[in-house]
Amino acid sequence: MKTKNKQPLFGILSVCLCLMLLSSCTVYKASDTKLMYVNGAGVIQKPVVVDLMVGDKKVTGNSVSTSGKSLDFAKDEAVSTALKSVGADVLVEPTFSFESKNGKTNVTVVGWPGNYINFRSIKADDVPLLEVGIKQDANIYKPADVKQKKSSTAGIIAIIVLTGLLIGLSTSQ
């Protein structure tokens, strides 16, 4: 009675499985911001006023959105890149542009860098400025999100390889 050597088959399937698992790994780098909203019953706060010093040269930031990364995440990453490049706190009047190619979307943001300076408790002189700021309401135009094609090249290749192995095994028996 002949017993077939199954070690080569096991090795080939193990290698294919490892390649499939390794090709599906994705790494995201992110930076975050901590927020604390101070409202609610029983919360008494003393307002703090701050001046915004806006730079005189625009800055640019870039990010690439792939099939596993959302467009909003890529926009946030582009803003973060622009702010880090000049050490700014906020990006004033950011303008986004998108370019899609080969399943990837390049996100570019351009805006004025701003830094918060002169933190102080509110005074009576600051109240009229705050009232003007409350009355102003910016009209924000938000274009439709760019749709991306989702592609899984590694998954398709793995399926083709496994199908070829199964066909090869069935014909060799």
Domain borders along the chain are 46-138
pTM metric for this prediction: 0.55
Dihedral of alpha carbons 165, 167, 172, 173, sign: positive
Alpha carbon separation from 101 to 67, 78, 106, 120 (Å, rounded)? 12, 18, 8, 48
Specify the residue for token string 């009229």. 128
What CATH number has the domain spanning 46-138?
A: 3.30.110
DSSP secondary structure code for residue 45 in this structure: -
Written as tens digits, the pLDDT of the chain (173 aa) is 455 555 666 677 777 676 666 665 555 555 566 566 666 677 777 788 888 999 999 999 999 887 777 888 889 899 999 999 999 999 999 999 988 888 788 999 999 999 999 998 888 888 887 777 665 555 555 555 444 445 556 667 777 777 777 676 666 65
Rounded alpha-carbon distances, angstroms, from residue 36 to 33, 39, 138: 10, 9, 24
Q: What is the CA radius of gyration of the chain?
A: 27
